[in-house]
Amino acid sequence: MFKFIVKLHPEISIKSKSVRKRFTKLLASNIKNMVIRVHEDAKVIQNWDNIVVMCKSQDEATRLGLIDALKRVPGIVQFIEVQETTFESLDDIYQVALSLNKDSLKGKTFCVRCKRQGKHDFTSSDVERYVGGGLNQNIEGAQVKLQKPEVTVKIEVKNEFAYIVKETHLGLGGFPLPTQEDVLSLMSGGFDSGVASYLMMRKGARTHFLFFNLGGATHEIGVKQASYYLWKQFSSTHRVKFIKVDFEPVVAEILENIENSQMGVVLKRMMMRAGSAIAQKLGIDALVTGESVGQVSSQTLANLNVIDRVTETLILRPLIQHDKQEIIDIARKIGTSEMAEAMPEFCGVISKKPTVKAKLDKIIAEEENFDFDVLDTVVNNARIMCIKEIEAETKEEVKEAESAAELPEGAIVIDIRSPEEEDHDPLELDGIEVKHLPFYKLATQFGDLPKGEDYYLYCKKGVMSQLQALILHEEGYTNVKVYRPE
């Protein structure tokens, strides 16, 4: 039989009696929901100072599955895997300890540590001396060392039972779901938004996902995959929502009507406006972003201050003081780094010289040129779904449009960069016709181009052109490829 003892987070233990009881009950319920998926006979017992997980199976795959499940439950700081035994004497405890440690202690220094509860005719120190002496005498090369040993043999005695610790496993820490209020996380699929979402789940907040689509179907599939993974790994004990907003019309409005250096801040303010409206509709009181001070131009303190002024909704930034490498390290630990590395950066939404000290009055003046009916429309058309509904979609293969480093005779290249980018660095190709059509106008104007020609989309990084080519393919324009010069 496998047995695990889940220790309560110290921050739970110091809560008032009623709060501690509620938190422990939620944690036990979440643990049960996870472990019964591993084995239907797994049992969870809630005690005042711990939670016990037991399963009669002897299958090693089941044991590993239980360990993996417990490691992914927010609110568990650590849990110990134990061998439970009854005893009549100290020698009974020693014999079990010997059978569990005879191989691992060979040639190593060790000590024995015991915790005891209940009425016994021996002390914790008596257990340590008796068991330690026996192991020292009967395991080849083993040597007692009380300070900084290589191995610590841990024993807990509670009333008529003794628990010899086989292994201690670390959990996520944090608080059980959903001990905090719901939050709505702005999810781009990159390193920052994924880690920020995870940290809020870990803190006990049921985290819903809000996706502003700037890059078509391919971007949507990637973000859905990342969101579903995070939910499945760390939050699947509770239902959450995934909300998609088609933000390309908003980007187009910004690119055409907002002064270049102010675009980044205005874009973020539009996202906060939209996020606040959707959060209010869902009864959620806080937004979550992956912003970190100084990481990019829109994330200076001055710009964040101007961005926050657009809404009264609480904006949480769990990564605000993290370095980029720290964020990447967390992403690797939780398993989102590969998805984040594959997530494209969108080359058409970046100002040439973005402001790092936005002034509120200037931003408000710029926003007077913005048609807010566009923002209202995309918010009203937002698609809200249960995260479970996208399971099948996360398995969908993402196709790639054909790309070419060299262009055939008669090819027509369409430069889809923003007008500012094209003016700054014009694309000139000998013997090849180059047309300029910004990506945000492709959907409405590509159909006006002559039929029967081969078109090659171009942008600096090749990412936006790949995404836009896929969108055009979906609309039946199979004569569209991507130009990717070496």
Q: Which residues are catalytic?
A: 459
34 marked as binding residue: no
What amino acid occupies position 350? I
Cβ-count burial 98-120 (b if 16+ within 10 Å, e if not): bebbeeebeeebbbbbbebeeee
Nearest to 153 by CA among 205, 82, 231: 82
Could you write out the DSSP letters of every residue in 398-460? -----EESSPPTT-EEEE-S-HHHHHHS----TT-EEEE--GGGHHHHGGGSPTT--EEEE-S
Structural element, H or E, at residue 101: helix 90-101
Rounded Cα gap, residues 421 and 439, in angstroms:
12
* Kind of pairing between the strands at 205-213 and 241-246: parallel
268 marked as binding residue: yes
Q: What is the SS3 string spanning 176-194?
A: CCCCEEEEEEECCCCHHHH
Rounded Cα gap, residues 124 and 155, in angstroms:
9
Could you write out the DSSP letters of every residue in 191-211? HHHHHHHHHHHHTTEEEEEEE
204 marked as binding residue: no
187 marked as binding residue: yes
Integer CA distances (angstroms), 105 to 101, 146, 192, 428, in order: 6, 14, 43, 72
Cβ-count burial 325-356 (b if 16+ within 10 Å, e if not): eebbebbeebebbebbeebbebbbbbbeebbb
**DSSP code of residue 345:** P
325 marked as binding residue: no
Token reading at 225: 């995959």
- Whether the Cβ atoms of residue 233 and residue 227 lie closer than 8 Å to each other: no
Q: Which residues of 214-363 form beta strands (DSSP E)?
A: 241-246, 286-288, 314-316
Rounded Cα gap, residues 146 and 128, in angstroms:
11
Rounded Cα gap, residues 47 and 63, in angstroms:
22
For residue 374, the tally of other CB atoms under 10 A from its CB is: 17
- Whether the Cβ atoms of residue 227 and residue 386 lie closer than 8 Å to each other: no
Phi, psi torsion values for 115, nearest 5 degrees: -115, 140
Annotated binding site: 186-187, 268, 290, 299
Annotated binding site for ATP: 186-187, 268, 290, 299
